[in-house]
Structure 1
Amino acid sequence: LGESLYLEFDDVLANEQDYYYKIVHCDYDWTPSALLKSQYLTGFDNQRIIDYGNSYTTLQPYSNYRLRIPNENVRLRVSGNYLLEIYNQRGDLQFSRRFVVYQDLVQVGAYIKRARDYQFLNQKQAVHFTINSSGFPLVNPLKEVKVAILQNYHWPTALYNISPQFILGNELVYRYDKETSFFGGNEFLNFDTKDLRAPTAAISKIEFEDVYQHYLFTNRYRNQETYTYFPDINGDFVIRTLQGTDVACEAEYTDVHFSLPYTEILELDEVYVFGKFNNYALEEINKMRYNEDNGNMEVDIRLKQGFYNYKYVTRNDEGVVALNLVGGNYHFTENNYTVLVYYRNFGDLYDSVIGVGTANSREITN
């Protein structure tokens, strides 16, 4: 609470459209809380984003918008879960992003253990942690405290509603195996388009049409391979370019071509390319399609120059998403874990966040 949050996005229509932002306070389960806006905001939201600029010397024109919170119009008053919503001038929701505001009122110590379940011994990572409330007295911690555990800030797989295994004085102890474990997955795949005309390790060829076309090497299935470590940024992306100094307005958009061989392991499942670059969404724009000429699943996505992490995921006809069918699961995989501690006293109108703990599976132990 008190630090700044930054949001930046592009509009490729490049017509300087007006965009507005709203801030919604949410409870532990991400439903809107009972607080009035005046109880969680100082000032007013639903303001027009006035910090923007147009691209220059780029093949794909776009307008770049930037928002900082707090700003001269609004500040956050309380901790908790928040939704930042962006609307166009007609009042249509364009997109939203989650963020969490916290206060350091309790100490959270987290570490990663190898799963003890023999079935998943080489596939899962268990998050163990403690909450020390010596500086923040809890009357009834079993009812007042809730936790959420995230792997690589991926909300769809977050774990909720986990009670402490036991309480020792001022310390809440969580040393579960099954209840707090995640499949390890595999290191994210990556590519780098910072140089428009020079292929990097993941790019097989570059062509030019209306914009540059970057063709990635066809990826292979890693689910049956021996685990191999190579550094990633856990699904994230970084916008960068060698063709200019103002990344926000000089970086080009390029069409990035992804391909994956079709095999019987996919059956009739839908296949998607996803990462933080598209907020881990499964949409038509990142859905792969079968190419009868070469037997590959393919999709091309227009992305701003930069370094990107991505992975292939599948979804069957019942809507079940398999995050690691293509990449496999390995307990060696490097992942970031975050433990959020929520607090609601009797009579409170909202869930506050009183502590955050982090751990990385590089230090995994048996």
Structure 2
Amino acid sequence: MSLRVFFSIIALLLMIVTRGQVPQNKTADYIKSAGFVRGNQSTFPHFKLGESFTLEFDDLYADEGNYYYRVIAYNYDWSPSDLRKIEYVTGMDNQRIRTYENSFNTLQDYTHYSLTLPNTQYSITKSGNYTLEIYDDNNEVVIRRKFVLYEDAINVPIQVKRTRNLEFYDTKQRLEFTVPLGDVEYQNPLKNIRVAIFQNGRWDTFLKDITPQYTVATDLVYKYDAETQFWGDNQYLNFDNSDIRQVNNMIGATNVTNGIYNTYLHINDSRRDKTYTYFPDLNGHFYPRTINKFKKVAIEGEYSWVYFTYSPPLDMPVGSDYYVTGMFNDYELTATNKLELNDETGLYEKAILIKQGFTNFKYTVTVNGKVAPEWNADGNFAFTTNTYQVIVYYRGTLDRYDRAIGYGFVNAQDITY
């Protein structure tokens, strides 16, 4: 057997093995600030079909490298769709990203890229689940982001309520919502209509495969307790280094070493055993900005090593690890974002390269490698002002894909009993 045939067989086997796997978001180490944006601020990955949305990122190689994009369709359960590309895309794959600029007058060089869809060369014609892949000349994927395009056929009213389970009365939030079908006829809606529920747009905690509790006329009603509840978590922490040299209530010191800025945050003590305190946050978003309003932050924003220091609770289970997460790094649980124990101080520390601006972040806990929201580093509180999103999917008996036909949004600041 020739090597060419051997490697062809290996590639085919890998394709078969990975075809049934749920796609995972991905970011190469030299790519920073990658995310969907709206109004210069990160945004949740849910967009109305036909409306434009933008992905932006910075390449620290700063060599104006060639990057290309493609969109791949998936079913409700994130298995690959049976649709052919021509059935959901107008345009051709292998389109090169043509909007990019080099950084200007910054210590850290980078090339800033921006891709807006739809555009004159490429558009998506059907609602549903998708991934957007950015890849290089070697067909190596450097960014993968899941997103949902939804139709405006159904508006989902949602209420955030405290759980009826007294054990979790102060620590969990639950959702009650209705899917109003109206006069439109849907085939076997109890089976063919499904929902996905998100807390702050996060993929690592979203809920699915929840059937309606009951129906009222043509409304599907979800008034569960346990099935539609989330741990409350706590308000996001933040820092603002829009003035890259300035200290403030979150930043204790700044300097420049080895030709790059350094931002040292104050120590974050766990808030799990403290009383809940409300303060406004952006529910995980990041907002690159500078104090000079005349600067174009996309290419004139500085990068800084941000030094995080965390003091966890003493009663954490064996196998606990801590990560700095937020939309600035897509909540990725990678070595780049993992805190390391300082044996001398007993504190957990990490330096992460982040673009200057206003950044929400949190400390995510994993136990034995799995996200453990019940052990949230800063506790769980019923009054945390999370946002929730509900997406409604429909697939008729003879349909070949899952449409996203409706959307709902609510902020838990309106929580009721």
Alignment partner of 1:133 is 2:186: no
Paired residue for 2:306? 256
Residues 36-95 of structure 1, C-alpha deviations (whole Å, 9 max, x = no match): 000001111221101100001000000000000001111111100110011011110112
Give matches, 1:83-162, under 5 Å: 83-162=131-210
Give matches, 1:1-366, under 5 Å: 1-209=49-257, 210-243=259-292, 245-261=295-311, 264-266=314-316, 267-317=318-368, 319-323=369-373, 324-366=375-417
Shift of 1:294: 2.3
8 Å contact from structure 1 (residues 106, 136) kept in 2: no
Q: Distance in 2 between matches of 1:71 and 1:270?
A: 42
> SS at the partner of 1:341?
strand
Residues 141-163 of structure 1, C-alpha deviations (whole Å, 9 max, x = no match): 11110000000001111111111
8 Å contact from structure 2 (residues 255, 261) kept in 1: yes
8 Å contact from structure 2 (residues 312, 377) kept in 1: no
- The one-letter code sitting in structure 2 at the alignment partner of 1:215 is Y
Shift of 1:234: 0.6
- Equivalent pairs: percent with the same residue? 44
> SS at the partner of 2:72?
strand
Shift of 1:321: 1.7
Shift of 1:262: 5.3
8 Å contact from structure 1 (residues 343, 353) kept in 2: yes
> SS at the partner of 1:329?
coil
TM-score by length of 2: 0.85
8 Å contact from structure 1 (residues 107, 133) kept in 2: no
Shift of the 263–165 alpha-carbon distance from structure 1 to 2, 3 Å rule, reads closer
Q: Distance in 2 between matches of 1:113 and 1:291?
A: 41
Greater shift after overlay, 199-208 or 176-185? 199-208
Shift of the 43–216 alpha-carbon distance from structure 1 to 2, 3 Å rule, reads same
Q: Distance in 2 between matches of 1:247 and 1:282?
A: 27
| Aligned-pair Cα RMSD in Å | 1.2
Q: Distance in 1 between matches of 2:253 and 2:167?
A: 42
Q: Distance in 2 between matches of 1:28 and 1:58?
A: 43
Shift of 1:246: 0.6
> SS at the partner of 1:362?
helix
Q: Distance in 1 between matches of 2:56 and 2:301?
A: 14
Q: Distance in 1 between matches of 2:165 and 2:116?
A: 45
Runs of 4+ in 1 over 4 A off after TM superposition: none
Shift of 1:106: 1.9
Shift of 1:320: 2.3
Q: Which runs of 5+ in 1 are unaligned?
A: none
> SS at the partner of 2:68?
strand
> SS at the partner of 1:259?
strand
8 Å contact from structure 1 (residues 45, 73) kept in 2: no
Aligned positions, number:
365
> SS at the partner of 1:249?
helix
Shift of 1:263: 5.2
Greater shift after overlay, 257-266 or 167-176? 257-266
> SS at the partner of 1:264?
coil
Q: Distance in 1 between matches of 2:66 and 2:405?
A: 36
Greater shift after overlay, 228-237 or 257-266? 257-266
- The one-letter code sitting in structure 2 at the alignment partner of 1:139 is Q
- The one-letter code sitting in structure 1 at the alignment partner of 2:302 is E
